[in-house]
């Protein structure tokens, strides 16, 4: 058994808000509404960050970047991911791969997948082919299905470096 491999999951949901830009994986996505949140509300980056932290048996994203701290207001979530990367590297872990699913009725994600992968890869010192990004809908059910917001689920695999 290889005790050096760790799997982590992350999930994030943000409601839509008028007057904000929509950002996923550090990519601005044309849409009439952005996501409500303290930072840039990048739900994709937040879910990946929580998956990384969980795999390394660290605290959740809110413990490191509380939404009550003015330092993180409107902060790029790619900067949060950079800090999370340093935390997991400090524990001796390297990222093997990331897989994330954006759950949204709108906007279409497919046209932005490659740019998102490039941003995440650059931030997390990976190759784009080590990152999977896909999208699905809720078929009209729940707050996502009613177009009230979007959610992201992420899974990561870490390996302990010797």
What is the per-residue pLDDT across 124-140, written as a single tens digit (0 to 9) for each?
Answer: 999 999 999 999 999 99
> Span 22-30, mean pLDDT?
97
Whole-number average pLDDT of the chain: 95
9-24: average pLDDT? 97
Q: Does residue 1 register a pLDDT over 60? A: no
List pLDDT tens digits, range 59-115: 999 999 988 988 888 889 999 999 999 999 999 999 999 999 999 999 999 999 999
Q: What pLDDT shows up at residue 2? A: 59
What domains sit in the chain, N to C, each tagged with a CATH number? 5-160 (3.30.1330.50)
Per-residue pLDDT at 158 exceeds 60 = yes
Pairwise CA distance, residues 76 & 44, whole Å: 12
């Amino acid at each position: 058994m290889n005790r050096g491999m760790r799997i982590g999951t992350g999930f994030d949901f943000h409601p839509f808000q008028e007057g904000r830009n929509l950002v996923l994986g550090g990519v601005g996505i044309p849409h009439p509404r952005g996501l409500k949140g303290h930072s840039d509300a990048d739900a994709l980056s937040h879910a990946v960050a929580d998956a990384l932290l969980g795999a390394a048996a660290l605290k959740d994203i809110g413990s490191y970047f509380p939404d009550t701290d003015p330092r993180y207001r409107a902060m790029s979530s790619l900067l949060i991911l950079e800090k999370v990367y340093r935390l997991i590297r400090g524990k001796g872990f390297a990222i093997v791969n990331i897989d994330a699913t954006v759950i949204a009725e709108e906007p279409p994600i497919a046209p932005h997948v490659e740019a998102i992968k490039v941003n995440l890869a650059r931030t997390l010192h990976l190759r784009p082919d080590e990152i999977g990004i896909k999208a699905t809908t809720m078929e009209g059910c729940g707050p996502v299905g009613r177009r009230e917001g979007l959610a992201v689920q992420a899974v990561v695999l870490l390996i302990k470096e010797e």
